Structure 1
Amino acid sequence: MDLPRLIVSSDSARLGRDSRELGRRAASGELRRIRQGVYVPAAAWDALAGWDRYPLLIQAAASTLQSRTVFCRQSSAALWDVPLLGPATLVHACTSDDGGGRSRAGVRRHFADPASLQVEERRGLLVTTRIRTVLDLAAFESFEQATAALDHVLKPQPGLPALSKEELDAGIGASYTAAAARRIRAAIAFADPASGSPGESASRALMHRLGFKPPELQAEIRDARGLAGYSDFEWPEERLCGEFDGLVKYRKAEYLQGRTPSEAVIDEKRREDRIRSTGRRVIRWTWAEIAGPARFAAFLTAEGVPRQIRPACRT
């Protein structure tokens, strides 16, 4: 989507304008200050969803940093349109200082060896490559975040080809510690392009960590009239289907396909009724249920999702 225009106080000063005027406009509620010396129109900022605000924060940081910066991790992911789980407010950038890890003015610096760092341009900013970006998320963030990112890049995206697991594994190289490389490879092995959304990816990763039986993804369900639809998750032996409802899909044009949100909800209800008519149970959950492992485990257990049967230990 088109982001609102940044208003930078240093630009106003160069044009001979009184930069204090921006502060007065912010105090009146006309502007929002999103970084020291950087403002956006308040109405435009308030209309943005949280995930659309973060790229603007990155652009704001780039406009005030003294040297051209290479953005990485969550910031590079946002610019590559790789899904992030949870709110992101801290901007992440590379540094050749092997101290790394320092935060200043909302920017956290991470050490990157300049000799091995590959950089591309995205939305006018320098970022780590798509492969390096998702590998960094797999190395340093949660298993759920790693799964959401890797599931995403295993599928072609607008203007971008799908990445293969072989490409991802080859990208590990010598850039990570042995422990980080193990985490990355475990996440790559688990990743599945059949996942339909970041919420589905996070749900599946949590199920795996909590020891629940792996479901089939995007299972085809047929009734007497033919194809009833596809279920996000299915446990065939239990005649149980699971649906993640992120709610955002009812606002996305690619999901609505010309329908109004209310029409999409009605179509979803009809699809679910047809699935239930085959004798399957259907359970649904949202971001609230996967907000924490204990809460999701309790939900799945109460709904009868089976646990993984682990091989008995031999003595």
Structure 2
Amino acid sequence: MRSSGLIRRHDLEVTVTTVVAGLTVTPLARTLIDLARTEDLHDAVAAADHALHHQQCTWGELLNELTLLEPGVPGRARAQLAIDLVDSRSMSVGESLSRVQMFRLNLPRPRLQVRVEDSDGLVGYCDFGWEEVMGEFDGRKKYGLAEGADPRDAERVLWREKRREDRIRARGNRMARWVWADAVQPSRMARILADQGIRPQAKNTWFSGVA
């Protein structure tokens, strides 16, 4: 079989398969590793984040599939990087993409799903957090608005989000917010975060144990 625009031929041995909707396919963990070997980093991380977040497979299963690849297999190093970046706490493709961009920009590694409390109790969870800075990817789902929603519902949701942000800021935090159009443009993300004091490091420290 030759590769085409829809089918990509691989020479790697497949020892385990499963059947989904009548089709014979590789197990999810193996499929995610193959995706990580051949596709862009942010696509691979987003797919694996989703699978882990929804408990469709485990990080250990991904690692096991990776170790089955011989050192010289094309894309193995790319797959290793993707697995190192995967995090089950990521709750959307936009958050996964944002995190990969932060890595590529050599920004300090953020904490994820940061719990914020004040004297009235739980304020909420922020997508990303650094010292005195919180970051939020603003997707439509965050605001719980369906297409064609009543304007009064939209007003209530926006007011609730404003009050939430006010409480977060009152704890001494600065806020960085961005949307999909910013996340796909590294320079725009870098500028938004730099405005709040989050700037590139001289050396990437994501895997060095340095916060």
Q: Partner residue of 1:34?
A: none
The aligned residue for residue 27 of structure 2 is 129
Runs of 5+ unmatched residues, structure 2: 147-152, 205-211
Equivalent in 61, 68, 71 of residue 167 of structure 1: 61
Deviation at 1:252, TM superposition (A): 7.4
1:231 aligns with 2:120: no
2:98 corresponds to: 203
Cα gap change, 1:123/1:252 in structure 2, threshold over 3 Å: closer, same or farther?
A: farther
Task: Give me the whole-angstrom Cα distance separating, in 2, the residues matched to 1:302 and 1:147.
Answer: 27
Greater relative CO (CA pairs within 8 A, separation 6+)? 2
Count of residues paired in the alignment: 197
Residue of structure 1 equivalent to 2:47: 149
Contact 1:214 1:308 in 2 (8 A): no
Of 61, 75, 86, which aligns to 1:191?
86
Letter in 2 for 1:289: D
Within 5 Å, give how 1:82-97 maps onto structure 2: 97=1
Q: Which residue in 2 is equivalent to 1:275?
A: 168
Determine helix, strand or coil for the equivalent of 1:289. helix
In structure 2, distance between residues paired with 1:162 and 1:309: 37
Q: Which residue of 1 aligns with 2:110?
A: 215
Within 2, Cα distance between the matches of 1:283 and 1:228? 17
Give the Cα separation in 1 of the matches to 2:196 and 2:110.
Answer: 14
Change (3 A) 1:129 1:242: same
Deviation at 1:300, TM superposition (A): 2.4
Amino acid of the structure 2 residue aligned with 1:206: Q
CA apart distance, 1:175: 7.5
- Decide whether the 8 Å contact of 1:289 with 1:296 is kept in 2: yes
Structure 1: how far apart are the matches of 2:180 and 2:190? Answer: 14
Q: Does 1:308 align with 2:206?
A: no
Paired position in structure 1 for 2:77:
182
Kept after mapping to 1: 8 A contact 2:28/2:57: no
Structure 2 contact 135–176 (Cα < 8 Å) conserved: yes
Q: Which moved more, 1:195-204 or 1:299-308?
A: 299-308
Q: 1:138 touches 1:146 (CA, 8 Å); kept in 2? A: yes
Structure 1: any 5+ residue segments left out of the alignment?
1-96, 254-259
Shift of 1:292: 2.2
Distance 1:252 1:110, change over 3 A: farther
User: Residues 39-50 of structure 1: matches in 2 within 5 Å?
Assistant: none
Structure 1 residues 139-197: Cα deviation after superposition (integer angstroms, max 9, x where no partner): 11111112111211222x3xxx4422221122132378534111111111121111121
Equivalence for 1:289: 182
Q: 1:133 to 1:300 in 2, by over 3 A?
A: same
Quick one: distance in 2 between partners of 1:207 and 1:165? 21
Which residue of 1 is the match for residue 209 of structure 2?
none
Matched ranges for 1:10-25 at <5 A? none
**TM-score when scaled to structure 2?**
0.80
Q: Distance in 2 between matches of 1:230 and 1:309?
A: 30
Kept in 1: contact 2:134–2:173 (CA 8 A): yes
Deviation at 1:210, TM superposition (A): 0.7
Quick one: distance in 1 between partners of 2:56 and 2:75? 23
TM-score by length of 1: 0.56
Gap change, CA 1:112 and 1:119, over 3 Å in 2: farther
Q: Deviations over 1:98-156 (max 9, x none)?
A: x42x23xxxx221145951644333454443211221122111111112111211222x
Cα–Cα, structure 1 residues 243 and 114, in superposed 2: closer, same or farther, change >3 Å?
closer
- Cα distance between partner residues in 1 of 2:169 and 2:133: 9
**Map of 1:10 onto structure 2:** none
Cα displacement (A) at 1:274: 1.0
Q: Residue 159 of structure 2: which of 266, 275, 283 is its match?
A: 266
Matched to 1:196, the amino acid is M
CA deviation after TM superposition for structure 1 residue 248, in Å:
3.5
Query: Does the 8 A contact of 2:176 with 2:193 survive in 1?
Result: no
Asked if structure 2 preserves the Cα contact closer than 8 Å seen for 1:221 and 1:227, the reply is yes
